[in-house]
Amino acid sequence: MGNMRLNEAIRGRRSIGRVKQEPITREHIEEVLEAGNWAPSHHGTEPWRFFVMTGKGRQALADAYADIASEAAPQLTGEELEAMRAKQAAKAFRAPVVIAVAVSPSDRKGVIRIEEFAAAHAAVQNMLLTAHALGLGAIWRSGEPMYHPRMKQAFQLTEKEEMVGLLYMGIPDMPHPEGKRKPAADKTVWMTD
């Protein structure tokens, strides 16, 4: 994480939706993946799975976005349909690196499915913090298309596996947004003697 202190990384991290198209090093990508891999998981299941898309590799995501949008707009035909598909497909190319994060819940006895999701989400947070500490911009994208069966198909996920995040990552191309949080005290109950 370089010299950035953990509390600085936590407080300083922001969603950076606009990044430059210039590639980022494989070394940086691997550092981000490694951070995700060190997330906590109940029963040590390590249920996260990473799909790193760069260059033409992003086309799998682009096609899924386009197909999902087409299904939702059956009335469109011809040029209108093509324009809409192109617009949706372009989403996959908003960053030089997109990491799809999925959860592959363990079947082991005693493993609770929702806890596997918690672990995968923790992995995403580790990845976001590490990207920020490396001076990269990243955003955790999700939303309805991410949970569509066609998206599962794009990453050859099984029935029990699910997508949990799309991390778009690159060199920031926007001012760093200011952070705002309501005080922790407003959301805290102290239960003492």
CATH of 23-174, one of 3.30.379.10, 3.40.30.10, 3.20.20.70, 3.40.109.10: 3.40.109.10
H helix intervals, 94-157 = 113-133, 149-154
The pLDDT value recorded for residue 171 is 98
**Is 49 labeled as ligand-binding?**
no
Instruction: Tell me the domain boundaries of the chain.
Output: 23-174
**Is 15 labeled as ligand-binding?**
yes
**Is 113 labeled as ligand-binding?**
no
What pLDDT digit, counting tens, does each position of 60-108 carry? 999 999 999 999 998 988 999 999 999 999 999 999 999 999 999 999 9
**Is 106 labeled as ligand-binding?**
no
What pLDDT digit, counting tens, does each position of 182-192 carry? 999 999 999 99
Q: What's the whole-model pTM score?
A: 0.95
**Is 94 labeled as ligand-binding?**
no
d(CA 49, CA 37): 9
**Is 176 labeled as ligand-binding?**
no
